[in-house]
A and B are shown apart, each in its own frame.
Chain A
Amino acid sequence: METQDNSWLRRYRAGDVGAIGEMVEHYRRPLFGYILRMTESQDDAEDIFQEVWIRALRHVDQYKEKRLLSWLFRIAHNLIIDRARKKKPDISLNASFDDQTSLEEQVPGPLPSPADQAGDKDTGQRITIAVNQLPLEQRSVFLMRMHGNLSFKEIARLQGISVNTALGRMHYAIEKLRKRLADEYADYARD
């Protein structure tokens, strides 16, 4: 049975450029949400989002993943890593998760905006801020799980790490969120 991904790609190969528009719209939210939280601004996110699709279109013949979204996330992840390396050339983004402290120091997430710090106590907003402050590699695994709904096996494969490392990074992310948002969790728990 033909998947939706294959149906779009077949139409595109047959000359139907409109299939690309449908694909972009279908995957816009998980992909752009992931990129937006992994970068520091809307402009950067739009640049990377555009570059992801351009690269995907140029290399569509090399598409071999089971899911198109996994492939798009792989391209996005590599672009984000490249951009981070250009900004911090000494960083090792594939270091084991035992090096979390140094990575956290080297690659802080986007800082909360003044409006955020001014006291917007909305739980979702606070979680967003907490997620943005996670180290890049933990944030990447966390967001691929939450936005892309990718399995840990898929995340491990496309990031070039083991499944246990992917699970470890997710675990650290959850633990940090749990500590930083203990009050909010308590509120949720009471609800």
Chain B
Amino acid sequence: MNTPSKWESYILQREAGTLSPRKQRALQRALAQDPELQAYERTLAVARQAMTDADPDKPVSAFTLSRIIQEAERHGPRVPDPTPTWTLRIPNWKPALVYGGLSVLVLILGSALFFQADRSGPAFQSVQSEPDFAGEGGAVVEWDRVFAEEYEALAQQLHTLRTEASEAAWLINDRDEEALARELLEWEHST
């Protein structure tokens, strides 16, 4: 047996309703000239008609049908679960890409700032941080100002104390001399 010829293939496709109008017209012309093709087409038509007529419309048993319905009831329609679940789904790659990109960006920026801070520490010191006496910058100036004010206040207090102490000492000295003179006079009188 050979594979179907072009025209036999056209006949089969026309019977299936899938032959283009242009090919149908060509087939019609070929059929008009070729009795063998006409016999082939007739065979196909007879086979279909005979199958349709002879096809026993045998019913499926009630048992089989009831099993199918039972199965349908048992499995039931698959209604989607309204409760949302967190699942990793490949199609949602855009949000994942955005979050991932942001995370990487933050990581890079953090690393860059860390190393920058390591190199030029004072730039990241606050006024409350430990003063860098050997360095330069605003923080040191600030600390100097604070210390200077405190030093000035202490110096003022010290000066005040010293003055008061000096005056007190003079008073004490004066009093001692007077007491000594009185005691001497008293001694002289007594003797």
Query: Chain A residues in contact with chain B, CB under 8 A?
Result: 12-17, 20-21, 24, 28-29, 32-33, 36, 42, 46, 49-50, 53-54, 57-58, 60-61, 97, 100, 122-125, 127-128, 131, 145-147, 151-153, 164, 167-168, 170-172, 174-175, 177-178, 184-185, 188-189
Residue pair B16, A17 in contact (C-beta under 8 Å):
no
Closest B residue to A53 by beta carbon equals B68
Residue pair B47, A127 in contact (C-beta under 8 Å):
yes
Residue pair B47, A146 in contact (C-beta under 8 Å):
yes
- Which A residues lie within 8 Å of B54 (CB)? 122-125, 127-128
For residue B136, CB closer than 8 A to chain A, the reply is no
Residue pair B69, A124 in contact (C-beta under 8 Å):
no
Q: How far is the CA of A122 from the CA of B50 in the complex (A)?
A: 10
State whether A33 and B55 are in contact (beta carbons under 8 Å apart), knowing that A13-B79, A14-B77, A174-B40 are contacts in the complex: yes
Residue pair A174, B44 in contact (C-beta under 8 Å):
yes
Residue pair A57, B1 in contact (C-beta under 8 Å):
no
Residue pair A152, B71 in contact (C-beta under 8 Å):
no
- Which B residues lie within 8 Å of A147 (CB)? 51, 55
10 contacts between A and B (CB under 8 A): A12-B77, A13-B77, A15-B79, A17-B73, A17-B76, A20-B69, A36-B56, A42-B58, A145-B16, A174-B40
Closest A residue to B13 by beta carbon equals A152
Query: Chain B residues in contact with chain A, CB under 8 A?
Result: 1, 3-4, 8-9, 12-13, 16-18, 39-40, 42-44, 46-48, 50-61, 64-65, 67-69, 71-73, 75-79
State whether A12 and B50 are in contact (beta carbons under 8 Å apart), knowing that A49-B64, A152-B12 are contacts in the complex: no
- Which A residues lie within 8 Å of B12 (CB)? 152, 167, 170-171, 174
- Which A residues lie within 8 Å of B9 (CB)? 167, 171
Q: How far is the CA of A147 from the CA of B64 in the complex (A)?
A: 21
Closest A residue to B43 by beta carbon equals A178
Closest A residue to B4 by beta carbon equals A171
Contact of B48 among A21, A146, A153, A172 (CB under 8 A): A146
Closest B residue to A176 by beta carbon equals B1
B10: min CB distance to chain A, Å = 10
Q: A17-B77, A146-B52 are in contact. List 11 more A-B contacts (CB 8 A).
A: A17-B72, A50-B64, A58-B75, A60-B78, A97-B3, A124-B51, A164-B3, A167-B4, A167-B13, A175-B1, A184-B50
